[in-house]
Amino acid sequence: MELSTVWFLLIALLFVGYFVLEGFDFGVGMLLPVLGRDERERRVMINTIGPVWDGNEVWLITAGGAMFAAFPEWYASVFSGFYLPLLLILLALILRGVAFEYRGKRADPVWKRRWDRCIVFGSFVPAVLWGVAFANIVRGVPLNADHDYIGGFFTLLNPYALLGGLTTLALFLTHGAVFVALKTVGDIRQRANRLAERLGIAAVIAAALFLGLTLARRATTAAVILAVLAALCLVGGLIANRLPSRDDPQGRREGWAFAGTAAAIALAVASLFADLYPFVLPSTVDPATNSLTVANASSTPYTLKIMTWVAVIFTPLVLLYQGWTYWVFRKRIGTQHIPEEVVAPQPAAR
């Protein structure tokens, strides 16, 4: 297998990891005012993702860096053509990060509500726009002979791409509700389980429509198999969410449910990349000559060889560190574990 194909697969793997991990913390962020009925419950929800949300974003940074180094023309065409949506995603992620850091700096309820809205906004915008962006990459965009994007912002907001955005939104909300149920105890756990049931129905319908339209346009055997497996995992996860737990009469099998939604997102993203190959960005103007492919968009073999050695050395270290983080913070939490408000000292008034 050529190194350009290896790096296409590695970039696909990085985006799979990003959507699985960041997907549930986007979901938790969007559900903050829905499941968190008071300040203590909202702090429980934030604490479920507090130790891991910034580490999850490492997958996006690594995927972007790998695209830049391994496929510079792909990176240039996507980041110039999708400039406004990607800028909105970046601003939303920054606002979300600032909100996590600042909402606990003052005990004022108005202050906290404003930052909570920022968390919801900063989770909602990427959840929708990532789906819009990837739907356009799979569908293809207007590229000229120099591989430059010649469409506008509203070209990206076509019905198929908007359906992609609704699909990622529904999947991440379901994934987030299942994660809250998995990581909490008490009333919030029960509400998260019930909400996951309702959100799961919307996710199944949206995902079936989107993957069906995708495969109807240009299907490969691998893409079809992965899409079918994704659908089975999503349905299996939702069924597991209704089954009673063996250890806790009040609970359900949230671990199996979370594994199901995580596998569904992973297999759906893998299906999109399988459907895309050997293209990395098809052209809707002249697909035969203007499209970017794994072959014509890749860096030199020497560059890819150096990148491969770097990945072989550092990827296991990153995976070990992230795995250790999830293991350390694996226990459930509830409102009884939330201490009294501790506010950072304010500077004295002059």
pLDDT of residue 346: 53
pLDDT cut 90: percent of the chain above it? 60
pLDDT of residue 152: 84
Closest CA to 330 of 255, 268, 269: 255
pLDDT in tens, 46-84: 999 988 888 888 899 999 999 999 999 999 999 888 889
In this prediction, residue 345 has a pLDDT band, given cuts at 50, 70 and 90, of: low
Question: Which residues have CB under 8 Å from 34's CB, separation 6+?
Answer: 195
Q: Which amino acid is at 298?
A: S
In this prediction, residue 344 has a pLDDT band, given cuts at 50, 70 and 90, of: low
Q: How many CA atoms lie within 13 A of 42 on its CB side?
A: 20
Q: Compute the average pLDDT of residues 254-280.
A: 93
- Taking the C-alpha atoms of residue 344 and residue 305, their distance in angstroms, rounded to an integer, is 49
Q: Compute the average pLDDT of residues 133-145.
A: 91
How wide is the angle at C-alpha 257 spanned by C-alphas 175 and 203, nearest 5°? 45
Written as six digits, the tokens of 75 are 């990176």
Cβ atoms within 10 Å, residue 119: 24
In this prediction, residue 87 has a pLDDT band, given cuts at 50, 70 and 90, of: very high
Q: What is the mean pLDDT of the chain?
A: 90
What are residue 283's phi and psi, to 5 degrees? -100, 135
Is pLDDT of 258 > 50?
A: yes
- Taking the C-alpha atoms of residue 129 and residue 34, their distance in angstroms, rounded to an integer, is 22
Written as six digits, the tokens of 239 are 């069924």
Is pLDDT of 350 > 60?
A: no
- Taking the C-alpha atoms of residue 156 and residue 81, their distance in angstroms, rounded to an integer, is 9
Is pLDDT of 169 > 90?
A: yes
Q: Compute the average pLDDT of residues 154-168.
A: 93
| pTM exceeds 0.85, yes or no | yes
- Taking the C-alpha atoms of residue 125 and residue 151, their distance in angstroms, rounded to an integer, is 22
In this prediction, residue 107 has a pLDDT band, given cuts at 50, 70 and 90, of: confident
Is pLDDT of 116 > 90?
A: yes
Q: Compute the average pLDDT of residues 212-237.
A: 89
Instruction: Give the relative orientation of helices 39-49 and 109-139 as an angle to the nearest 10 degrees.
Output: 40
Is pLDDT of 343 > 80?
A: no
Q: Compute the average pLDDT of residues 263-285.
A: 92
Q: What torsion do the CA atoms of 344, 345, 347, 349 make, to the nearest 10 degrees?
A: 120
**Exposed (0-12), middle (13-18) or buried (19+): which is 216, by Cβ within 10 Å?**
exposed
pLDDT top residue among 249 and 20: 20
